[in-house]
Amino acid sequence: MLGIHQGQVHKLAIEPGSPFSFYTCGEDGVVKHFDLRTRVATNLFICKEAKFNLVVYLNAIAVDPRNPGLLAVAGMDEYARVYDIRSYRSETWYNYSEPVDHFCPAHLIGSDHVGITGLAYSDQSELLASYSDEFIYLFSPGMGMGPNPPSSSETETPNPPSSSETETETETETETETETVTETRKTIQPQVYKEHSNRETVKGVGFFGPKCEYVVSGSDCGRIFIWRKKDGELLRAMEADKHVVNCVESHPHMPLMASSGIETDIKIWTPGGTEELGSPRTAEQVMESTHVCFKTQICLG
């Protein structure tokens, strides 16, 4: 046994460029690093929220392929937290790093009814987050809220200016620039992907295509949903499980996808079909027109 979490583990992340190294996170809030060459598991940190210093039960983890030093985790609250794992402290179990960035749609800040079940990084360092009982959101690196995210009240009204009579002209300019950046981040909204259902189980999310042109996810309805990344248009909804699809993973180099759910098999999806599909306008039409889009091979689990 390489290591153990106190609770369920839903996801691991392989370190880019290293077939021997990977990371895990669990419902105990602990993030671990594994090296198969040494067969040693290192406890990196415990994820905690800032307000009450409570442990965050984690569902998802992802490593930025363009900057492998950045690790994103998410779970039973509204934030996707990004850590710089090069700066972690490993002297004791209780020394954990602080996140360097937070991501969350503005309208979900302060919500007690959502969590994140899946995370994925694109090859352009965009961060994809799938929210339970909500939608999927795509964040560009500039949408981060920094190490100290605002409260829900702060996202509704700007911070009041300082009342100090001794502030200098430089300080005033700095505050103005900070407020401008804050307001800009409020007006920039992440791309949203809808129509699927993420309520019953922990579902992953990912990219598909040689340049991450598409977003893919499972759903409670037993289908795989495929959206165009740039505008959120739903392109396909394919029957993939009699119950629920939890996992959809893309091959890193080939046009292949693997999916799994409540059934006991893993399905491998490859491009196929000979009929030319039109451009359906509704989710219902998409679902009805996808039977010729892909062909499947079933690997017994």
Here the CATH number for the domain that contains residue 41 is 2.130.10.10
Query: What is the per-residue pLDDT for 171?
Result: 46
Q: 129 with 186, same domain?
A: yes
Q: Considering its fold, how many domains does the chain have in total? A: 2
Same domain, yes or no: 139 and 227: no
* pLDDT at position 276: 43
224 with 256, same domain: the answer is yes
Is the domain of 189 the same as that of 288?
Answer: no
Residue 158's Cβ-side half-sphere holds a number of Cα atoms within 13 Å equal to 16
6/24 same-domain check: yes
Q: Is residue 235 part of a domain?
A: yes
Do 187 and 245 lie in one domain? The reply is no
pLDDT of 251 > 50? The answer is yes
End-to-end Cα separation, the chain, in angstroms: 22
- Give the tens place of pLDDT for each residue, 129-178: 999 999 999 999 999 999 998 866 555 534 434 434 434 444 444 444 44
34-57 burial, b at 16+ Cβ within 10 Å, e below that, comes to beeeeeebebbbbbbbeeeeebbb
Residue 151 lies in a domain: no
Average pLDDT over residues 183-201: 82
Mean pLDDT of 272-293: 47
Residue 163 belongs to a domain: no
Q: Which of 134, 9, 3 is nearest to 61 (CA)?
A: 9
Whether residues 188 and 247 share a domain: the answer is: no
> Which amino acid is present at 50?
A
Task: Answer yes or no: is pLDDT of 275 > 80.
Answer: no
Domain annotation covers residue 277: yes
Is 157 inside any structural domain?
Answer: no
Burial zone of 155 (CB within 10 Å; 0-12 exposed, 13-18 middle, 19+ buried): buried
Q: What does pLDDT average to over the chain?
A: 81
138 and 60 housed in the same domain: yes
Q: Give yes or no: residues 88 and 236 share one domain.
A: no
Helix residue spans in the chain (DSSP H): 169-187, 283-288
Q: What is the span of the domain harbouring residue 14?
A: 1-144+171-193
Is the same domain home to 140 and 24? yes
Q: Which residue has the higher pLDDT, 175 or 257?
A: 257
- What's the rounded Cα separation, in Å, for the pair 261 and 269? 14
With respect to residue 88, please indicate whether it lies within any of the assigned structural domains.
yes
Q: Is residue 154 part of a domain?
A: no
Domain-terminating residue out of 133, 161, 193? 193
Residues 6+ apart with CB under 8 A from 113: 133
Do both 102 and 183 map to the same domain? Answer: yes
Last residue of one domain, picked from the residues 161, 193, 225? 193
In a domain, 156, yes or no: no
**32 and 65 part of one domain:** yes
